[in-house]
Amino acid sequence: MNCRLAICQTNPKLGVVADNLQSHHQWLDRCLEQKADFALFPELSLTGYILRDLTSDVALALDSPQISELVARSKDISIAFGFVEHSPDHRFYNSFVFAEDGVIKHVHRKVHLPDYGIFEEGRYFAAGNNFTTFESKHGRFGILICEDAWHLSSAWLHFLQGADALLVPVASPSRGIETDGDHLASQKSWHELCAAQAKFLQTWVVRCNRVGYEDGVLFDGESAINSPTGEVVAAAHHSEEDLVVYELTSSALKRARVETPLRRNAHANLVRRQLAIIANDPDLSGLIDDE
């Protein structure tokens, strides 16, 4: 892979798709000025996050004029953005589109919908049911929308499918002031999580968080790119909109994987066999998700 990727750390307006769409165009213009190949936006970048009953109002079909308008821009630059997807059977998904060369190449529907603490996604959204890695002209990508990344199996599935980079769009409510250092506790967890996933899955991890406040809740930015050895190689500012451009390369992937061949030794079949055993064991099956 070789990709000059732009993180668009935006501050969406809550529930105002038209304004956010306009803003996406402006960000894409800036990305093109910076000669980026690929513009990555945060989770629900077209709608804002605390949607509640707005969810169905702001939802868009994949073939809606608004989505088509952004997809058309992907003739000039690959684009990945977030929105509420209105499915033909009237379900609503927290979705993320990857578009390239004027067509939608992949849609990821968020699988893990948090509904604890401050979160209400389980109340409003239908859940996706897969983590599927896809090929683009810039490399092989896997998408994890926010909470998806907190379940380690999600990233591991992309790892098994050969992802060069994990794209992690985020709208993370920041919290935790009883902490040392420069980051709110929740942000610190994100930094640790992405560093660990990059290092131990030997992939690029590109996390694009949003900024701004909604109903007193801060989204604190600090988007970052972790190299396949875990180091932060590019980082956006906290709390403010920011554009960060960085070149993802195959050579960095190769270096990490030659040094420690984790992918070669993943033993996925062993995991598959054991999962089947656990699922069939009456003493253990209750411990795993049996959807």
Partner 1 sequence: MSSTIPQPPTCNVELAERVLIGFLKSETQRIGMTKAVLGMSGGIDSALVLELAVRALGPENVLAIALPYRESDPLSLELAQQGASNAGCEFSVIDITPLADAYFEQHPELANGEMETARLRRGNVFSRLRMTALYDQSAAVNGLVFGTSNKTELLLGYGTQHGDMASAINPIGDLYKSQVVALSCHLGVPSAIIDRPPSADLWQGQTDEEELGFSYDAIDALLHAMVEQRLNRDALVALNFAPEFIDLISARVQRNQYKRRPPLIAKVTGRTINLDYRYARDWGS
Interacting residues toward partner 1 by CB under 8 A = 13-16, 50-54, 174, 177-184, 212-216, 218, 220, 238-239
Task: Answer for the pair 128, 108: CB distance below 8 angstroms, yes or no.
Answer: yes
Task: Answer for the pair 122, 113: CB distance below 8 angstroms, yes or no.
Answer: yes
CB of 179 to partner 1, least distance (A): 6
Give the CA diameter of the chain.
59
Q: Report the residue number, 55 or 74, with the smaller CB distance to partner 1.
A: 55
CB of 53 to partner 1, least distance (A): 5
CB of 232 to partner 1, least distance (A): 19
CB of 227 to partner 1, least distance (A): 27
Q: Report the residue number, 217 or 266, with the smaller CB distance to partner 1.
A: 217
Q: Report the residue number, 187 or 202, with the smaller CB distance to partner 1.
A: 187
Q: Report the residue number, 80 or 211, with the smaller CB distance to partner 1.
A: 211
CB of 168 to partner 1, least distance (A): 23
Three-state SS letters, the chain: CEEEEEEEECCCCCCCHHHHHHHHHHHHHHHHHCCCCEEECCCCCCCCCCCHHHHHHHCECCCCHHHHHHHHHCCCCEEEEEEEEECCCCCEEEEEEEEECCEEEEEEECCCCCCCCCCCHHHHCECCCCCCCEEECCEEEEECCCHHHHCHHHHHHHHHCCCCEEEEEECCECCCCCCCCCCCHHHHHHHHHHHHHHHHHCCEEEEEECEEEECCEEEEECCEEECCCCCEEEECCECCCEEEEEEEEHHHHHHHHHHCCCCCCCCHHHHHHHHHHHHHCCCCHHHCCCC
CB of 229 to partner 1, least distance (A): 29
- What are the structure tokens assigned to 216, written together? 């007193």
CB of 171 to partner 1, least distance (A): 13
Q: Report the residue number, 23 or 133, with the smaller CB distance to partner 1.
A: 23
Q: Report the residue number, 16 or 196, with the smaller CB distance to partner 1.
A: 16
| The amino acid at 165 | A
Q: Report the residue number, 101 or 192, with the smaller CB distance to partner 1.
A: 192
